[in-house]
Amino acid sequence: MVLSDRDPHYPAITQPESDVLPDPLHPMIVHFPVVLSVLLPFAAFGALYAIKGGARPMRAWGVAIAMSAALTASAWVAVETGEDQEERVESVVGEAPLDTHASAGEALMVTSVGVLMVLALGLMPGDRGRLARYVGAAGTLVMGVMAYRVGHSGGELVYTHNAAAAYAAPGSGAAAAAGEGAAATGAAAAETGGEGGERGERGEREEHERRER
């Protein structure tokens, strides 16, 4: 008999809460503001070109504003999730490289707020809106440079300072290798000790036989 998922006897399938979101969450979230910082200048300068060609500023420039808003939101989430993991990672990598990465992330978030505000002013009519659009487009280039700093410092944490070790399972990686080495040494010592004991007993028997003769 095949049970339907509507049947009351159908076994419920539950997913552990820990599998719903990755742990840690920060390494996944931090890619969003970095990628958006790279794409935003293309959106802003593309909108400028479209507006110059006759496109309506509300429609063309709105794409750049929406992308900038997404960047700001993701940068804030990245900073918050990074702060949640700060103490755990600091125990492995130390304070200085972690502070460098955290400062770069916070600077990117604050700057993204300012750029978003300038881009929003680009919807104003006339020369003011036109000036705000050009200034905002230039600001997106600054965002790209700051995103590079965030990505570079984050990469150093992982590949130079081994930040991933803060999340390694107790039985994995270097700990597992050390455990295997200790087990092998112990086994070798036990084997050597066993052979020594057998030789000692054999020698005692031979000595006892010589005395009896």
Instruction: Domain ranges for the chain, please list them.
Output: 23-167, 170-203
Residue by residue, DSSP assigns 21-85 as S-SS-HHHHTHHHHHHHHHHHHHHHHHHHHHHTT--HHHHHHHHHHHHHHHHHHHHHHHHHHHHT
* 132 phi, psi to nearest 5 deg: -65, -35
Rg over CA atoms, the chain: 32
- 196 falls in which pLDDT band (50, 70, 90)? low
pLDDT at 48: 95
Residue 18 has pLDDT above 50, yes or no: no
Can you say how many angstroms the Cα of residue 92 is from the centroid of all Cα atoms in its chain? Answer: 15
Please state, for a pLDDT cut of 70, what percent of the chain lies above it.
66
Distance CA 188, CA 212 (A): 37
* Cα angle value 98/103/105 (rounded, 5°): 95
Letter for the amino acid at 184? A
- 183 falls in which pLDDT band (50, 70, 90)? very low
pLDDT at 185: 46
pLDDT tens figures, 109-160: 999 999 999 999 999 989 999 999 999 999 999 999 999 999 888 888 878 8
